Amino acid sequence: MHSFRNDYSEGCHPNIIKALLDTNLEQQEGYGDDQYCQEAKELIKLKIKNQNADIHFVSAGTQANLIVISSILKPFESVISASTGHINVHETGAIEATGHKIETIFSEDGKLNPELIQSILEKFEDHHMTKPKLVYISNSTEVGTFYSKIELVNLSAFCKKNNLYLFMDGARLGSALCASINDLAFSDLSALTDVFYIGGTKNGALLGEAIIINNNNLKEDFKFHLKQRGALLSKGRLLGIQFRELFKENLYLDLASQANSMASILSSEIKNLGFEFLSESKTNQIFPILPNSIITELSKDFGFYVWKKIDNKNAAIRLVTSWATKKEVVEKFINTLKTIQP
Amino acid sequence: MHSFRNDYSEGCHPNIIKALLDTNLEQQEGYGDDQYCQEAKELIKLKIKNQNADIHFVSAGTQANLIVISSILKPFESVISASTGHINVHETGAIEATGHKIETIFSEDGKLNPELIQSILEKFEDHHMTKPKLVYISNSTEVGTFYSKIELVNLSAFCKKNNLYLFMDGARLGSALCASINDLAFSDLSALTDVFYIGGTKNGALLGEAIIINNNNLKEDFKFHLKQRGALLSKGRLLGIQFRELFKENLYLDLASQANSMASILSSEIKNLGFEFLSESKTNQIFPILPNSIITELSKDFGFYVWKKIDNKNAAIRLVTSWATKKEVVEKFINTLKTIQP
Amino acid sequence: MHSFRNDYSEGCHPNIIKALLDTNLEQQEGYGDDQYCQEAKELIKLKIKNQNADIHFVSAGTQANLIVISSILKPFESVISASTGHINVHETGAIEATGHKIETIFSEDGKLNPELIQSILEKFEDHHMTKPKLVYISNSTEVGTFYSKIELVNLSAFCKKNNLYLFMDGARLGSALCASINDLAFSDLSALTDVFYIGGTKNGALLGEAIIINNNNLKEDFKFHLKQRGALLSKGRLLGIQFRELFKENLYLDLASQANSMASILSSEIKNLGFEFLSESKTNQIFPILPNSIITELSKDFGFYVWKKIDNKNAAIRLVTSWATKKEVVEKFINTLKTIQP
Amino acid sequence: MHSFRNDYSEGCHPNIIKALLDTNLEQQEGYGDDQYCQEAKELIKLKIKNQNADIHFVSAGTQANLIVISSILKPFESVISASTGHINVHETGAIEATGHKIETIFSEDGKLNPELIQSILEKFEDHHMTKPKLVYISNSTEVGTFYSKIELVNLSAFCKKNNLYLFMDGARLGSALCASINDLAFSDLSALTDVFYIGGTKNGALLGEAIIINNNNLKEDFKFHLKQRGALLSKGRLLGIQFRELFKENLYLDLASQANSMASILSSEIKNLGFEFLSESKTNQIFPILPNSIITELSKDFGFYVWKKIDNKNAAIRLVTSWATKKEVVEKFINTLKTIQP
């Protein structure tokens, strides 16, 4: 039974296993001071067009989020997030556990914009309240949407004007940058965010997220935060080797494109069959709305989450594709769906 | 140039790479609910002879320490540690960052015993002080020593009597259990500690520590702590696959024995040359005291830390061996040392 | 110019100053172990009809909230609050600074009920989310409303059934219990909440809130939390002496009645003049809606907060009365308002 | 029975009660924005000769310590303290509860000096350790000693040179400044420390410590920290009124002188009787060493702590005097001691 539950069901891209094997018995410095972390950082700097970026590799998205956010904020400062934001919903209070409030605002498409942020800023009065200082966005978002260049330009300008830092959670950054109608590039992220991270785990790596610090004020002493939160791997090479492979030539974006294109086929075919969607997604997560009877039938052959009840007879399901999703599986899903159709 | 700096200079045991390759494109559940984590846990339960143990895999030692300790203690409770303890010296305040005081006591050999702990307990008065509730020990210790069975039996009984939990940091547990004159077995740890962890990173794995919770009172809801601290890997299989390999048959202890036996050769040969040691170590870390001139010469061909100045002419160095240390390198070191000798 | 800005503009009830003077040079034990704290606790136990209650005096409301909440919750557990709750809006992230998430829900009247709480519980899935464990309510609320007995009975039953603790912030508890149509008594709070506190600062004291712990499971070691958060006054007698005065006979409720009755006169008179209110308040905070031109005129002679813009021509103001508000001032306000009226 | 247990057994100086009474029914702004806090600050600025100081009043010493320290340090930075320091021993881990490690060093007389601090700085290596950033001293210390001007000048210069902040806990500052051979003045503290506080609770107030921030870099947003930690009293006037009285003319130092002179009489008389002392104290805490039999007899008529066992037959006791200690009581103590003497 094939699972469309998520994009971390498989291991890693074969090139990575090969690189691990090839370098396995070399001696390297520990804690990220090895040759491969160095090479990976150089490759990433080229790709993001920012030679001054500080780059740090960590194991997982929640870890990246909690370290970045707690390293930036003073005790009384808060982070602004869409209420659907991963840090607000699915990180077991990891941000609050570092002492900081998340100021949330509802956003239909999971994205933030100046108007939404402004509405939070306007509530701020004085020292009886937390002071909003950092804007957290995810790209692609938890509901499959992504930011266009003009949206990010506006958001970035608004943050600068209001003395707010901008941090992009890129756990699924590849799928955002490779979305069919996307016009954002890696280099834009260097120019428009203070910090962002490039998710490896959901796009070809065994584990690993690359934190990119663009703002000079936020670079100093970052390794202390990594160590204090338990994120500094003694065999840091494990992360460097993987990102070196992903950023050699175009592998990272190629993998994301493959994931998106499989999702895109699923989308069009399901649409052709007359079904609607919870959101207009161009990334690797799609949310078709199906009758419960069909969902029951599909779940005999495929794994996926039932995402949201629509009414008594219908629900939205979430289908996630990855670099490892094969076209045959997608076709099998569509064929099964056609068969079930009343 | 060969490095004796630490036991995490190389990658992993070849069996692990092979297992990663063999399982790479299978789909598995995320977050540790995969088949390999399950199998690894069963193998470990057999080895430690505790079918009721709760087992969780995490990425690194500091992460294991901070999660275990903060999951056990109430806000006003403290953890007792030797002042040389890793949590006190080399974790950038990770324990304090979760809100807890470490009560320290000097111990010549890096180990704790009832008398030392008693001296801390006697200082406790009332609610104006933190309440000691947990004893942290490392085995083998940061200075290369290890606990004998009778020592651990006494420590465990003392803790139970005084209503203290006992937690063993096993980042280098293999080297302790395989020390030449050791009489402790995995099964003793199940019986004598409330929680311990088995270090993979320093003994054959790419990364990974297996936290073993023996005390039923400490099992509930542990995964919430893992997630909140950013330790729950979405591709948890990466940890399960590695521990499955390490605990198939006797690989874990075989690797540690190899490391110890290389250290043992180094030790006897250096002793034969007339040098003394900072501590009597039977594990994979040894601390010979050498004249500075010899240290300078050696450092041209070998990597190691100068650990402690002894006097103006001599210092102790630290040599660490691992499962990957080859006999030829050890012999080369000894031969070089012989050549330098005045 | 008289201020209706808040109920902590004046000092304390004269009886308290007298008691401070009378006892000033007696020697007493420190840190709350004095005779007056003891006597005050006995008087409170009688009033709340709970001889087994644990009672602790602290200096301020935010302090009471952060200590109670952080003493109850495990690191991954959260507290449920109306989005208007004081802990969510006006405590500078004090709860999050102790590591805990506040789960908020919008409530028109600032009160929680089973349905609202149920909607939060239903969102909880597993260890990727914080686990709701405690319900925070304020009585009277931040918008002047209060809980009836049947409402609190239902809420309490719901919490018990769902394994949630119930904590009532009573910074303005007096005004709630003395509201004209109220049917809740002190003794109900003992039976229906796990913890509540009785606010002294806003009802006759110089400072001081009395935390009442009804649930036996929450009593142990509470003083450690007080000390750790900096709340244990060395001259604890200062708090004991005040609560002894407030709970001798009926002073506490008499003072609250006086505050409510002044608010009630303001309310009826303003209503008689044809104005509407933001909420139906029977407590010492009222929120009349007035034309901006009238607000401007009134603010020349009286202090108050403009609470909420209604439209371009009107706004709600907040008027707060206290035990020290005199009838002449109330009459002066009404007369001024009548004069301004177009 | 008279108690020499501590200097917070009585209420406050009569002038303070009078001032509370005189101002009781005036309306004042809340949260420290009242006229009396303002006046008190002006009086203190004059006394400390620093018109640019930022001054904040809080309720208690542990509160002052935890707020000042956590407001200054980044998450990975630590505070240096003598192991006898109040923050290390008697604050229930309040500093660690805000996330920070205390680096301790043993000091015979409870004081720090450049050599002791240097020994801590030398242990610092890199991001695997907490970074010492702040030096905490108490004056007078927990063992009754105090800093001379040259000692503080040297300490301050050393801190500046090493990029460390210097914070003085002045819970018993009065007794230090009034010690018979003292040459430090209030104005020196403005010049030589980054932050210090003036203890009111142990020197004439009901409660209250005045935090003085001299370093401009540490002033911004301090009120957010106060509020977040529950330290901002709504009736802040209570603190302002008290410090206004204490700093009118010379009351604060007069009260401390009275306490010291009572301790001095006790000291000389006890010395005359042939007894030794645990430390040479010129402040209001003295530590005579007495035979256990005498201690038993004395404790029938006087309250005091047995501080430290010296041998099987003798112990040091702690006698604390205050502004309220009367000469008759001191004489009675000496007479009783003379009577008991074998």
Residue to substitute from B92, B106, B120, B307, interface D, most D β-carbons within 10 A? B92
Q: Does the pLDDT value for residue B271 go beyond 90?
A: yes
Q: Does the pLDDT value for residue A8 go beyond 70?
A: yes
Q: Does the pLDDT value for residue C294 go beyond 90?
A: yes
- b/e burial code for range D102-112 (CB count within 10 A of at least 16 → b): bbbbebebbbb
8 Å CB contact between A24 and B12: yes
The model's confidence at residue B222, banded by pLDDT at 50, 70 and 90, is very high
8 Å CB contact between C231 and C280: no
95-114 of B, contacting A, C-beta below 8 A: 97
Determine the Cα–Cα distance for residues C50 and C186; give it in Å rounded to an integer. 10
Determine the Cα–Cα distance for residues D147 and C55; give it in Å rounded to an integer. 41
Which chains have 3 or more CB–CB distances shorter than 8 Å to chain D? A, B, C
Measured at the alpha carbon of residue C63, what is the angle toward residues C57 and C66, in degrees to the nearest 5?
Answer: 115
8 Å CB contact between C210 and C170: no
8 Å CB contact between D138 and D168: yes
8 Å CB contact between A306 and A315: yes
Helices A14-23 and B14-23 pack at an angle, to 10 degrees, of 170
Min CA distance, D89 vs chain B (Å)? 6
- b/e burial code for range A22-60 (CB count within 10 A of at least 16 → b): ebbeebbbbbbebebbebbbebbbebbebeebbbbbbbb
DSSP secondary structure string for all residues of B213-244:
E--GGGTTTHHHHHHHTT---TTTHHHHHHHH
Query: Which among A139, A210, A212, A209 is positioned nearest to A175, based on CA atoms?
Result: A139
What are residue B137's phi and psi, to 5 degrees? -130, 155
User: What was the pLDDT predicted at A1?
Assistant: 87
Contacts of B122 (CB under 8 A, 6+ apart): none
Which chains have 3 or more CB–CB distances shorter than 8 Å to chain C? A, B, D
A292-327 pLDDT, tens digit each: 999 999 999 999 999 999 999 999 999 999 999 999
Residue to substitute from A65, A80, A101, interface C, most C β-carbons within 10 A? A101
The model's confidence at residue A54, banded by pLDDT at 50, 70 and 90, is very high
User: What was the pLDDT predicted at C280?
Assistant: 85
User: What was the pLDDT predicted at B342?
Assistant: 62
Contacts of D100 in chain B (CB under 8 A): 93, 96
Contact D221 A75 (CB under 8 A): no
Alpha helices per DSSP H over chain B: 14-23, 35-48, 61-72, 86-89, 94-97, 114-121, 149-161, 173-177, 186-192, 222-228, 237-247, 251-272, 292-298, 327-340
DSSP secondary structure string for all residues of D58-73:
ES-HHHHHHHHHHHH-
D29-84 pLDDT, tens digit each: 999 999 999 999 999 999 999 999 999 999 999 999 999 999 999 999 999 999 99
Q: What is the mean pLDDT of residues D104-120?
A: 97
Query: Which among B69, B49, B53, B51 is positioned nearest to B61, based on CA atoms?
Result: B69
Min CA distance, A209 vs chain B (Å)? 12
Contacts of A198 (CB under 8 A, 6+ apart): A44, A170, A173, A174, A209, A210, A212, A243, A252
Tell whether A232 is within 8 A of chain B (Cβ). Answer: yes
Q: Does the pLDDT value for residue B341 go beyond 80?
A: no
C239-258 pLDDT, tens digit each: 999 999 999 999 999 999 99
8 Å CB contact between A140 and A176: yes
193-222 of A, contacting D, C-beta below 8 A: 221
Give the predicted TM-score (pTM) of the model: 0.97
Contact D127 A99 (CB under 8 A): no
Q: Does the pLDDT value for residue C233 go beyond 80?
A: yes
Q: Does the pLDDT value for residue A99 go beyond 90?
A: yes
Cβ-Cβ pairs closer than 8 A, A with D, add up to 49
User: What was the pLDDT predicted at A342?
Assistant: 62
Contacts of A67 in chain B (CB under 8 A): 230
- b/e burial code for range B121-130 (CB count within 10 A of at least 16 → b): eeeeeebbbb
Residue to substitute from A76, A96, A100, interface C, most C β-carbons within 10 A? A96
B79-138 pLDDT, tens digit each: 999 999 999 999 999 999 999 999 999 999 999 999 999 999 999 999 999 999 999 999
Nearest CB partner across the interface for B24, out of A11, A59, A63: A11
Cβ-Cβ pairs closer than 8 A, B with C, add up to 49
Nearest CB partner across the interface for B224, out of A14, A24, A92: A92
Mean pLDDT rounded to a whole number for chain C: 97
Percent pLDDT > 70 in chain A is: 99
Tell whether D14 is within 8 A of chain A (Cβ). Answer: no
Q: Is C39 exposed, middle or buried (0-12, 13-18, 19+ CB in 10 A)?
A: middle
Alpha-carbon distance values, C329 to B109, C260, C326, C332 (Å):
76, 14, 6, 5
User: What was the pLDDT predicted at B1?
Assistant: 87
User: What was the pLDDT predicted at D157?
Assistant: 98
Give the nearest chain D residue to B127 (CA atoms). Answer: D92
The amino acid present at C242, given as its one-letter code, is Q
Contacts of B235 in chain A (CB under 8 A): 8, 11, 201, 206-207
Half-sphere exposure for D5 (CA within 13 Å, toward CB): 17
Half-sphere exposure for A46 (CA within 13 Å, toward CB): 10
Which chains have 3 or more CB–CB distances shorter than 8 Å to chain B? A, C, D
DSSP secondary structure string for all residues of D222-255:
HHHHHHHTT---TTTHHHHHHHHHHHSTTHHHHH
Tell whether B227 is within 8 A of chain A (Cβ). Answer: yes
Nearest CB partner across the interface for B93, out of D90, D93, D130: D130
Mean pLDDT rounded to a whole number for chain B: 97
Query: Which among B31, B43, B95, B34 is positioned nearest to B64, based on CA atoms?
Result: B95
Give the nearest chain C residue to A124 (CA atoms). Answer: C89
Determine the Cα–Cα distance for residues B180 and B233; give it in Å rounded to an integer. 36
The model's confidence at residue A280, banded by pLDDT at 50, 70 and 90, is confident
Q: Does the pLDDT value for residue C342 go beyond 70?
A: no
C166-207 pLDDT, tens digit each: 999 999 999 999 998 899 999 999 999 999 999 999 999 999
Nearest CB partner across the interface for D131, out of A70, A75, A224: A224
Radius of gyration of chain D (CA): 20
Alpha helices per DSSP H over chain A: 14-23, 35-48, 61-72, 86-89, 94-97, 114-121, 149-161, 173-177, 186-192, 222-228, 237-247, 251-272, 292-298, 327-340
The model's confidence at residue A341, banded by pLDDT at 50, 70 and 90, is low
Alpha helices per DSSP H over D29-136: 35-48, 61-72, 86-89, 94-97, 114-121
C39-60 pLDDT, tens digit each: 999 999 999 999 999 999 999 9
Contact C224 B131 (CB under 8 A): yes
Q: Is B169 exposed, middle or buried (0-12, 13-18, 19+ CB in 10 A)?
A: buried
* DSSP single-letter state for residue A218: G
Contact A221 D128 (CB under 8 A): no
